[in-house]
Structure 1
Amino acid sequence: MTFESTYAPLFIAMIIGVAALVTFFAYRKSAFDKPYKYVLPGLRFLTLVFIGILLLNPIIKETAIEEERPLLIWLQDESESVMQHVDSAEYQANYSTWKKQAIEQLEEKYDIVSLAFGETVHSPTEKYADQSSAIQDALSQVAQQTLGRNSAGIILATDGILNSGTRLSTRQSAIQGLHVLALGDSTQYFDVAISQVLNNRIAYTGNTTPIRVAVEAKGGTARNVSVSLKGTNENFTQVVSLNGGKAQITFEVGSDSAGTQRYEVEVGALGGERNVSNNRASTFIEFVEKKRTIHMVYQAPHPDISAFRLPLLDDEANDVRLFALSDWSIEDSKEADLLVFHSVNPTNDVEEVMQEASQSVLFITTPEEPYSNWDLAARYLRQAPSPDRTADVTPRINPSLSAFQVDEDWIERAVDFPPINGEVHSEQNSGIWEAVMLANVGSVKTNTPIVSVYTNDNQRVAWVNGEGWWRWRSYSYSQYSSHQMFDGFVQSLYRWLLTNSVGDRLEVDFPERVNQNESILFTVRPKDAAMNPLEDARVNLQITKEGQVVFDQRLTENRPGRYISNVQGLNAGDYRYKVSSQYGDEVLSETGELFVENLQLERIDTRARFGQLQGLANANGGLFGTYSTRDEWLNELMNQEAPTVLHEVVSTDSLLKKWWPYLLIALLLTAEWALRKREGQV
């Protein structure tokens, strides 16, 4: 314990001096015998000094040692699938009792915080009724509560089934000590399911387009299944044979009128199936009246050309043509909607396209034909930093990307793909470019885009930096058993480029496929007659179902000219939306259809993901256990070393607030009075 005062020592010296003078004049004529001749003045002097010091309001600083026990968070999955068992009532009762006893046992060693989650993190209810499960999002949110604490980790009690939020990642994260208790039933029962529905998002009116349906049977010996497809003008049924438990069937559909068509696919239920929710699926196709013409111009053959061409061929509404630069002229592409230049040293015709045409352009640079060549092709390109060196780069997502949506999980996995051989600069910004992906050189983050977009007046332009994209397409296939992730990213880039920025003064963007109860982000960009973003506009979104308004809200302008709204809680069904933008007396509006699917993984596949959960625990330094081994798992957790942290806590308080100074002064005064009375001086 120490004393501090804001007053200088001179004040204390003055107090001592005044106390000495007052005492001297009070006792200078006294005739006390020894020892009272010295004791009584001493008592008076000490009393006056203590009173004077107390009036200075000194501060007492005390130091104490506090013990912080290790913190352990129990994060319980309360989604429906956790209790999907034949004996679910007994299972729930037994588990709830055991969980309570386990927490009591853990509290002997840890400070326990008990939380639960479904779509969001909440207090435990023990009802297991949530229809959504966002495991990765819940972990990220709860991990924030352990920052700055003596954390012993997180206990994740779940079956590993999720149907919303971010995909579950088994890569190492910032969470250390992620202990997993795997619940549910991992037994594979007999089940026939639609595993995949593939079709073109956009098709051409008057033509047919395929819908490919993949069917998979597990845990049984089924030989044949009946698959049906229903649409506005279609009603097909076919019986297909299963080969190795799998089958694929193709339906040809079409429409003579433009618009969005929805199709329902169903596999007939077979005897012995425990779960028929995954026997149904839906998809939709937008039919357009005009094919889109894309011309790809290249300097020399390169495998990257196929990587950017093949995703276009998946959509029959695209008319794709290849030209060698030596055989191409601007006259060949006067009617093209999009021009793609790969590793081209811009000619006069290319410069004319960049400076005067309204067609969208995607140019792909390589170390052999770098970005600096394009600085001369268009003046606006000089407003961006020009790369000054080549390097092997890996991607990172631009968190503020607004042009279109990308799959962040795929980009995170692309870090492990072979690097792109591209160009980089050391500037602190990307200039005119809105980056889709930014380049990392090893562990160094740069502001050089790998993929970026820009709108120049009435022309949309995209820049792809580097070569080696064909390897990404191959590695995406090895990760996902499909080219869909890479092709989907490239198709999103093409869709942005092919959007008519001149005619579309009200851009509306939202996810193509939406599941029940998922959050739907609507992004709206209104523009004036000169195609400049409109700021401070009044933008409203209204959603109706069967003529009834289910959502009506004014959108928030989260950045200049960009308005957003998160729509939540929509049930499965067909909806219509209307977006209106008012600025002054002018009103822009757009209407369309929104399909919400009843795709609930919680019900479609209730088989617990034990393997994935074990990988999650191993990657994050945690213990893994199942319901059947819960007691052994708990004992091992109790035996883990979890050191207690000691903190030095410093507290300050005013001496005026303490009781003992007043007691001391009272005792001194009482002692002086008693002695004076004894000597007959009172």
Structure 2
Amino acid sequence: MQIQNIGLIIAAGVIAIIIALFQYMYKAKNRTKKNLFFAFLRFLSVFALLLLLINPTFRKNTYYVEKPTLVFAVDNSSSIKHLKQDIQVTQFINKIKESAELKERFDIKYYSFSDVLKDTLSLTFDEKQTNISEALESLDQIYKNTNAPTVLITDGNQTYGRDYQFSSINYKQQIYPVITGDTTAVTDTKIQQLNVNKYAYLKNKFPVEVILTYSGVDDINTRFEVKSGNNTVYSQPVPFSEEKNSTVINFTLPASVAGVLKYSARLIPIENEKNIVNNRKDFAVEVIDQKTNVLLISDITHPDLGAIKKSIESNERRSLTIIKPSDVKDIEEYQLVVLYQPNARYRGVYEKIKASRKNYFTITGSKTDWVFLNREQDIYRQEITRQTEYYLPRFNPNYGTFLLDDIGFNGYPPLIGTFGEINMKSSYDALLQRNIGNIKTEEPLLATIEDNGVREAVLFGEGIWRWRAQSYLDNKSFESFDDFFGRLVQYLASNKQKSRLNTISESFYYGNSSIKIKAEYFTKNYEFDRRGNLNIVVRNKDTEASQTIPMLLKNSSYEADLSSFSSGNYDYTVVVVGENISRSGSFSILDYDVEQQLLNADVTKLRQVATNTKGSAYFMNQEERLILDLIKDQRYQAIQKSKENIVSLIDWKYLLVIIIILLSIEWFMRKYNGLI
């Protein structure tokens, strides 16, 4: 309590005494013992009322015991069931839940994981991917400020993601791996990895690389073969021994027919081989008979040129040629022309573009000659200021020319453009808009224009190489930016007329991948329509079974998730309910379950994880030992903590009750004695 409040309380007591004595002693005609009693009651009631007005505060400490958190993270992938450990894992968790000693010592939290971490223990053991590293990183963020040892129940087989053996070094908690699955080494041959490009070009040959492995001690001979339908297109004998337990086979296959070519790679199983699922792997290649050639014309050297080239050529179906405007002879062989910071030397280039009606992409910046550019075309005009400005990108969610997601543009660095107003004289669709610092403008930073059958895109700023670098910093890969730039190039390189309904799908999917078909639906003014009711009808070509699925609105597209579909060949039709508009396509799902390729638990990695984090590794039949070790470990102690609360006197409701009682007693006694 503050000293100031103490002084006020003393003053309140003095005032209450003065009021009580003045009323019942000084003014009283007859001073009796009753007057002293009445004065005492009045003193208490007045003093209590003054205390309420002063409202002093008191500090109250409450003490509680905080137990350490014990985290159980359970692998929910299908490899657990494939290794016939699903029942044992469930029984193990039940025994943990029944342990009263653990409950008394720890605050127990349960999680499951496969490709992502989930705060639920609904175990189905049917997830198709495992990312142990992602699960540990998520738990590390959740419990970064607490003492939370982690019991990791898994077979240690990870299908993708960072190597958890090394990423666990930075994990702040102790990890206790509980190893599930068979740890006995058995004789096995398998296709460890098959590498092939997704696309190939007609009348070319595409390379295939296969890594084959063997675990065993005997010398064996088997055969590797690749079939297309019933035809064997490649075959090779493969010897293995204890010393030579792996081999790499490189070969090429002809891309003789356009379309999706499906193949089945098979390593002939040896006698009495336990797991033959991992001896087969299906793959496919889409053979295309057209390659997009892009011409980039630049009169200066700039880092943007390298970023654009890398981004465009990340797709093998596209190639980029960079030349100076003075070297341009013929542009007919190119599907798209990129004009980088044009100036007066581009006059002949613009004449060729107009004559051939080529689609083009204009990128402006600090070196752009806007006097020339304003005169050369009449679609947009830039105010001439001879000054530069930094422009931040802002994604336009209403962009509807083609399907595109926000890849994090709001966090991208600014581009350098010419300061001044842009006047668009033709209809356009702004993909990105300008921000100047914290000021939002409606002026376009990146816009697409379709005028008289010719498509153009304009980027009003240089420095796009920084965007590609930022994409890598954000996502540890260039994929998101390259996909964004690739979609822009795909739109510009095509002369396909606009349609009110477009669909996006791959020609084939692997069975362990996410299978999503997207559609974009526009109004008659070609503005994205969020009010549409779209259904997709999917038909299995092999069984003739069909299924109608509603498509959900997600960002600027409609989407259907078909990841639960089994392998096979499918046709689909997207229909707009209430309108005579539909689009059809087809795709294939290749049979592949990476979790079934696994034969044993990865004991070595899990033990190393325990060592990295100062924990211990256990097997499924050692639950009693695990419980005992956790209880005895002195690193995990309950901590007594205190919490200080500041309580105001006005919050104490009983004081008001006391005041009412005092005043009531005083009134009743005075009434009884005839003083009222």
Give the TM-score category using the shorter length: 0.5 to 0.7
For 2:485 and 2:601, the matched residues in 1 are separated by: 36
- 2:565 is aligned to 570
Shift of 1:271: 3.1
Give the 5 Å matches for 1:296-307: none
For each residue in 1:172-223, what CA deviation from the matched residue of structure 2 results, as whole angstroms up to 9, or x when unmatched?
A: 799962443333467775331151141442544xx36536251411324554
Q: Residues 202 and 563 (structure 1 numbering): CA distance in 2 closer, same or farther, change over 3 Å? A: farther
For 1:101 and 1:655, the matched residues in 2 are separated by: 44
Shift of 1:570: 2.9
Give the 5 Å matches for 1:176-195: 177-182=172-177, 183-184=179-180, 189=186, 190-193=188-191, 195=193
- Count residues in correspondence: 604
For 2:360 and 2:496, the matched residues in 1 are separated by: 15
- Contact conserved, 1:102 with 1:634, CA < 8 A, in 2? no
For 1:358 and 1:530, the matched residues in 2 are separated by: 24
- Contact conserved, 1:523 with 1:563, CA < 8 A, in 2? yes
Q: Residues 62 and 360 (structure 1 numbering): CA distance in 2 closer, same or farther, change over 3 Å? A: farther
Give the 5 Å matches for 1:311-326: 322=321, 324-325=323-324
- 1:267 is aligned to 267
For each residue in 1:347-379, what CA deviation from the matched residue of structure 2 results, as whole angstroms up to 9, or x when unmatched?
A: 2244457889764557899xxxx7633866587
For 1:616 and 1:669, the matched residues in 2 are separated by: 74
- 2:575 is aligned to 580
Q: Residues 623 and 45 (structure 1 numbering): CA distance in 2 closer, same or farther, change over 3 Å? A: same
For each residue in 1:378-425, what CA deviation from the matched residue of structure 2 results, as whole angstroms up to 9, or x when unmatched?
A: 876969x999799xxxxx9999999668999xxxxxxxxxxxxx9955
- 1:238 is aligned to 235
1:626 aligns with 2:632: no
Q: Match of 1:219, as an amino acid?
A: S
Q: Match of 2:279, as an amino acid?
A: N
- 1:348 is aligned to 347
- TM normalised by structure 2 equals 0.65
For 2:155 and 2:28, the matched residues in 1 are separated by: 91
Shift of 1:622: 4.4
Shift of 1:566: 4.4
- Contact conserved, 1:192 with 1:279, CA < 8 A, in 2? yes
- Contact conserved, 2:362 with 2:456, CA < 8 A, in 1? no
Percent of aligned pairs sharing the same letter? 16
Shift of 1:45: 1.5
- Contact conserved, 1:337 with 1:360, CA < 8 A, in 2? yes
1:373 aligns with 2:368: yes
Gapped runs of 5+ residues in structure 1?
391-395, 409-421, 436-446
Q: Residues 461 and 140 (structure 1 numbering): CA distance in 2 closer, same or farther, change over 3 Å? A: farther
1:115 aligns with 2:107: no
Q: Residues 173 and 536 (structure 1 numbering): CA distance in 2 closer, same or farther, change over 3 Å? A: farther
Gapped runs of 5+ residues in structure 2?
423-428, 433-439
Q: Residues 571 and 611 (structure 1 numbering): CA distance in 2 closer, same or farther, change over 3 Å? A: same
Match of 2:208 among 212, 226, 238: 212
- 2:199 is aligned to 201
- Contact conserved, 2:342 with 2:369, CA < 8 A, in 1? no
Give the 5 Å matches for 1:530-609: 533-534=528-529, 536-545=531-540, 546-556=543-553, 558-559=555-556, 562-581=557-576, 587-608=580-601
Shift of 1:113: 1.7
Q: Residues 83 and 568 (structure 1 numbering): CA distance in 2 closer, same or farther, change over 3 Å? A: closer
- Contact conserved, 1:362 with 1:462, CA < 8 A, in 2? yes
For 1:116 and 1:453, the matched residues in 2 are separated by: 43
- Contact conserved, 1:311 with 1:491, CA < 8 A, in 2? no
For 1:285 and 1:467, the matched residues in 2 are separated by: 31
- TM normalised by structure 1 equals 0.65
Q: Match of 1:543, as an amino acid?
A: V
For 1:434 and 1:616, the matched residues in 2 are separated by: 46
Shift of 1:78: 3.0
For each residue in 1:596-642, what CA deviation from the matched residue of structure 2 results, as whole angstroms up to 9, or x when unmatched?
A: 34433322235555677789889xx9445432698598489652688
For 1:51 and 1:519, the matched residues in 2 are separated by: 71
- Contact conserved, 1:542 with 1:552, CA < 8 A, in 2? yes
For each residue in 1:206-253, what CA deviation from the matched residue of structure 2 results, as whole angstroms up to 9, or x when unmatched?
A: x3653625141132455442323224x855352343684222343325
- Contact conserved, 1:542 with 1:577, CA < 8 A, in 2? yes
Q: Match of 2:268, as an amino acid?
A: G
Q: Matched residue of 1:81: which SS?
A: helix
- Contact conserved, 2:431 with 2:448, CA < 8 A, in 1? no
Match of 1:497 among 489, 501, 510: 489
For 2:610 and 2:386, the matched residues in 1 are separated by: 44
For 2:213 and 2:581, the matched residues in 1 are separated by: 50
Q: Residues 575 and 334 (structure 1 numbering): CA distance in 2 closer, same or farther, change over 3 Å? A: same
- Contact conserved, 1:502 with 1:531, CA < 8 A, in 2? no
- 1:639 is aligned to 635
Q: Match of 1:570, as an amino acid?
A: F
Q: Match of 1:347, as an amino acid?
A: Y
Q: Residues 40 and 314 (structure 1 numbering): CA distance in 2 closer, same or farther, change over 3 Å? A: closer
Q: Match of 2:595, as an amino acid?
A: E
For 2:527 and 2:355, the matched residues in 1 are separated by: 19
- 2:256 is aligned to 254
Q: Residues 661 and 104 (structure 1 numbering): CA distance in 2 closer, same or farther, change over 3 Å? A: same
